[in-house]
């Protein structure tokens, strides 16, 4: 054992003797590659991504099995697959950030790359890449389901989902992932961020919906203050310029500002 | 070379690290010794940029840690062997480090070999590792980039006696080849067998530092005699200290002085030697007793 030590380090010292100005900086693609790998290399991460894929296949199967013939349209396949995506993908985003703190892996990550901004940026890019590829996969699975389903039942294959609508759906899902990412950066705690996200996604729309149904003033104000309301409207597509303004306004207040605050803190916080 | 200059870290009104200044020299193992909560880990986290300092500077190989282009290639860091994603395998953790640092893949197996983790063990998830195995994995991660310096926080924790001996040989070899080793411990015996230089910290302040030889010499001389009281009397009369223990005494006089005084007093000595580790331990407890949680009970 000690002879191995000797050998490896003898060469090391020689090389250190030769080098003049130090090593090349770590390129961003390296950090990105490592962050992508980290999304898959733990049991939780691996199964989460398997679940994302499996949910798409199961949703397609369920639509095939239970939908009436006239409901076998691409829109319905896409919608069935989109629901599990909107729930699971933000969790991918959350865990990408929080595992560095909850599992304390950041102690190593941030010493190997002592610029937290680069690591966080790599995490964000990795998260969005995973999101876009999962959705591309889901849409492909849905298309396949649509062709097979209508073929089996002998009805016309309906492609009732425009490319623009697909972009709206992808946009809404990416916003969902950004919300997950923001919660991760803000809370740096996996269970806390996941519970908060699920509350945002499942509980908040119910409450605001109730409020809007009972209070006329809130129904009027809702598009200007309620981000989740605007995010949900994206799944229907067809935004007017006022809709975009409302999305931008609520997105700035509820997503971008909290994200900026969270990043500001993460870049300064102690890593313990 | 690690140079820390007047480093201070305050948390509100509490000063965790108070104007700490020291150097860890290449070719030497520098031990950072202090009771729990003395500021060792905080100092180390500041050195590697995980904690911002309130004031003062720390440089590694002539640069601030954050300015190192690929830190893993120049300084190996192990702050907490348990701070790893429990769901990753040992091999995967090494792979992430290998990829980040952009060193050849073959380094992974070399390092596993070096720290004696078998293929089967490397394939297990870290949650199933013992603390000793985590320390070995942490050492492997620290060494995979062929660094010139090592910063290790309590690396001997959880190692069995054979493991501590292995660690000592490894770090000795690393320093002998010109590397800088900076490691902390709260156990004197552990650090005493490894370190060349010692920095003793208590309550965030450095209370003693120097080569182990210097600190041992300052620990004085141990002498034993049948007529111990007479020997103590002779020493104190001559202006030396004499702290009696069960069957001997420790004094600040050197061996020659003790011998002459004993001869003059007609006291036959049964033992005469440098106070050594026993003295260093007393010094350590003395220096840190205000800060140690055990207080005077220690």
Distance between A111 CA and the closest CA of chain B, angstroms: 6
Q: Does residue A18 have a pLDDT over 50?
A: no
Interface contact B84-A112, CB threshold 8 A: no
Q: Does residue B298 have a pLDDT over 80?
A: no
Res B56: pLDDT: 96
Interface contact A108-B93, CB threshold 8 A: yes
Q: Which residues of B touch A272 (CB under 8 A)?
A: 45, 50-51
- Residue of chain A nearest B80, judged by CA positions: A107
Q: Which residues of A touch B73 (CB under 8 A)?
A: 23
HSE on the CB side for A79, CA within 13 Å? 15
Distance between B145 CA and the closest CA of chain A, angstroms: 9
**Sorting pLDDT into bands at 50, 70 and 90, what band is A21?**
low
Q: Which residues of A touch B149 (CB under 8 A)?
A: none
d(CA B266, CA B256): 15
Interface contact A114-B48, CB threshold 8 A: yes
Segment B117-130 mean pLDDT? 95
List helix spans (H) across A67-115: 74-102, 106-112
Chain segment A200-213, per-residue pLDDT in tens? 988 998 899 999 99
**Sorting pLDDT into bands at 50, 70 and 90, what band is A85?**
confident
**Sorting pLDDT into bands at 50, 70 and 90, what band is B289?**
low
- Percentages helix, strand, coil for chain B (3-state, rounded to 5) are 40, 25, 35
Average pLDDT in chain A? 86
**Sorting pLDDT into bands at 50, 70 and 90, what band is B117?**
very high
**Torsion, Cα of B74, B78, B79, B85 (10° steps):** 120
Chain A positions touching chain B (beta carbons under 8 Å): 1-2, 4-6, 8-10, 12-13, 15-16, 22-26, 30-31, 33-34, 37-38, 41-45, 99, 103-108, 110-115, 268, 270-272
Do B243 and B249 touch, CB atoms closer than 8 A? yes
Interface contact B83-A107, CB threshold 8 A: yes
Nearest to B100 among A16, A34, A42 (CB): A34
Res B153: pLDDT: 95
Interface contact A268-B86, CB threshold 8 A: no
Give me the DSSP letters along A109-138. HHHHS--HHHHHHHHHHHHHHHHHHHHHHH
- Least trusted range by pLDDT, from A158-162, A186-190, B37-41: A158-162
Domain ranges in chain A are: 26-268
Nearest to B49 among A4, A25, A114 (CB): A114
Chain segment A147-186, per-residue pLDDT in tens? 888 888 888 888 888 888 889 989 999 999 999 999 999 9
Nearest to B73 among A23, A33, A99 (CB): A23
Q: Does residue A15 have a pLDDT over 50?
A: no
Q: Which residues of B touch A106 (CB under 8 A)?
A: 83
> DSSP letter at B271?
E
Which one of A150-159, B142-151, B277-286 scores highest in mean pLDDT? B142-151
Distance between B230 CA and the closest CA of chain A, angstroms: 52
Interface contact A4-B114, CB threshold 8 A: yes
**Sorting pLDDT into bands at 50, 70 and 90, what band is A19?**
very low
Res A227: pLDDT: 93
Res B278: pLDDT: 63
Average pLDDT in chain B? 89
Nearest to A112 among B52, B79, B97 (CB): B97
The candidate with the shortest Cα–Cα distance to B45, out of B66, B25, B63, B27, is B66
Do B9 and B54 touch, CB atoms closer than 8 A? yes
Res A51: pLDDT: 86
d(CA A83, CA A79): 6
For residue B6, list its beta bridge partners.
Answer: none
Six token digits for residue A270: 């102690």
Interface contact B49-A111, CB threshold 8 A: yes
Q: Are strands B55-60 and B2-11 parallel, antiparallel or unpaired?
A: antiparallel
Q: Does residue A94 have a pLDDT over 90?
A: yes
Distance between A199 CA and the closest CA of chain B, angstroms: 26
d(CA B297, CA B279): 18
Interface contact A268-B51, CB threshold 8 A: no
Chain centre to alpha carbon of residue A141: 19
Predicted-complex ipTM score: 0.85
Q: Which residues of B touch A271 (CB under 8 A)?
A: 45, 50-51
Q: Does residue B93 have a pLDDT over 90?
A: yes
Q: Does residue A2 have a pLDDT over 50?
A: no
Distance between B245 CA and the closest CA of chain A, angstroms: 41
Nearest to A26 among B48, B100, B110 (CB): B100
d(CA B177, CA A175): 53
Nearest to A108 among B49, B84, B146 (CB): B84
Do A55 and A85 touch, CB atoms closer than 8 A? yes
Interface test with B, best of A42, A107, A118 (most B CBs within 10 A): A107
Nearest to B70 among A4, A26, A99 (CB): A26
Res A13: pLDDT: 44
Interface contact A43-B82, CB threshold 8 A: no
Distance between B83 CA and the closest CA of chain A, angstroms: 5
Q: Which residues of A touch B87 (CB under 8 A)?
A: 42-45, 103
Nearest to A34 among B87, B99, B148 (CB): B99
Six token digits for residue A85: 């995506």
Res A47: pLDDT: 87
- Residue of chain B nearest A13, judged by CA positions: B177
Segment A250-265 mean pLDDT? 95
Res B288: pLDDT: 61
Segment A70-93 mean pLDDT? 84
Res A120: pLDDT: 96
Chain segment A26-52, per-residue pLDDT in tens? 999 999 999 999 998 888 888 888 888
> How distant, in Å, are the alpha carbons of A263, B71, B237, B242, B270 from that of B248?
62, 51, 18, 10, 9
HSE on the CB side for A236, CA within 13 Å? 7
- CB neighbourhood size of B144 (10 A): 24
d(CA A242, CA A10): 68
**Sorting pLDDT into bands at 50, 70 and 90, what band is A131?**
very high
**Sorting pLDDT into bands at 50, 70 and 90, what band is B273?**
confident
């Amino acid at each position: 054992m000690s002879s191995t030590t000797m050998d490896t380090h003898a060469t090391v010292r020689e090389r250190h003797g030769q080098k003049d100005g130090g090593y090349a900086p770590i390129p961003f693609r390296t950090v990105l590659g490592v962050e992508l790998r980290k999304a898959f290399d733990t049991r939780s991460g691996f199964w989460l991504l398997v679940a994302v894929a499996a949910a798409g296949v199961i949703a397609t199967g369920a639509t095939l099995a239970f939908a009436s013939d006239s409901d076998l349209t691409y829109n319905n396949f896409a919608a069935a697959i989109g629901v599990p995506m909107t729930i699971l993908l933000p969790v991918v985003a959350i865990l990408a950030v929080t595992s560095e703190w909850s599992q304390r892996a950041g102690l190593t990550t941030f010493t190997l790359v002592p610029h937290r901004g680069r690591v966080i940026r790599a995490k964000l890019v990795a998260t969005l890449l995973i999101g876009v590829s999962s959705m591309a996969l889901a849409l492909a699975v849905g298309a396949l389901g649509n062709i097979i389903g209508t073929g089996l039942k002998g009805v016309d294959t309906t492609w009732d989902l425009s490319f623009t609508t697909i972009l709206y759906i992808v946009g809404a899902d990416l916003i969902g992932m950004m919300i997950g990412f923001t919660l991760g950066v803000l809370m740096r705690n996996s269970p806390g961020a996941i519970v908060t996200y699920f509350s945002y996604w499942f509980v908040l729309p119910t409450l605001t919906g109730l409020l809007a149904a009972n209070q006329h003033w809130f129904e009027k104000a809702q598009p200007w203050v309620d981000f989740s309301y605007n995010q949900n409207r994206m799944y229907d597509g067809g935004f007017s310029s006022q809709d975009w303004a409302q999305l931008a306004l609520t997105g700035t207040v509820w997503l971008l500002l909290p994200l900026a605050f969270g990043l500001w803190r993460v870049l300064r916080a102690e890593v313990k | 070379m690690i140079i820390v200059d007047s480093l201070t870290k305050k948390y509100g009104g509490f000063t965790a690290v108070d104007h700490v200044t020291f150097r860890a020299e290449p070719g030497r193992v520098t031990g950072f010794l202090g009771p729990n909560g003395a500021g060792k880990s905080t100092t180390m986290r500041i050195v590697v940029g995980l904690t911002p300092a309130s004031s003062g500077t720390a440089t590694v190989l002539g640069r601030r840690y954050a300015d190192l282009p690929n830190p893993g290639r120049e300084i190996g860091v192990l702050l907490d062997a348990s701070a790893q994603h429990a769901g990753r395998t040992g091999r995967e953790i090494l792979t992430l480090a290998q990829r980040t640092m952009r060193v050849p893949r073959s380094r992974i197996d070399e390092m596993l070999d070096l720290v004696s983790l078998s293929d089967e063990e490397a394939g297990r998830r870290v949650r199933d590792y013992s603390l000793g195995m985590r320390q070995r994995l942490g050492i492997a991660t620290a060494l995979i980039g062929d660094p010139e310096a090592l910063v290790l926080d309590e690396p001997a924790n959880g190692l069995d006696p054979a493991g501590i001996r292995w660690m000592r040989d490894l770090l000795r070899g690393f320093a002998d080849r010109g590397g800088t080793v900076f490691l902390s411990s709260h156990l004197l015996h552990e650090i005493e067998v490894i370190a060349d230089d010692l920095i003793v910290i208590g309550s965030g302040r450095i209370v003693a530092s120097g080569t182990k030889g210097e600190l041992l010499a300052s620990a004085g001389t141990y002498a034993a005699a049948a007529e111990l009281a007479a020997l103590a009397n002779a020493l104190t009369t001559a202006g030396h200290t004499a702290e009696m223990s069960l069957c001997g005494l420790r004094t600040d006089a050197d061996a020659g002085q003790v011998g002459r005084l004993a001869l003059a007093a007609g006291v036959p000595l049964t033992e005469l030697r440098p106070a050594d580790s026993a003295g260093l331990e007393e010094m350590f407890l003395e220096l840190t007793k205000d800060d140690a949680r055990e207080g005077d009970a220690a």
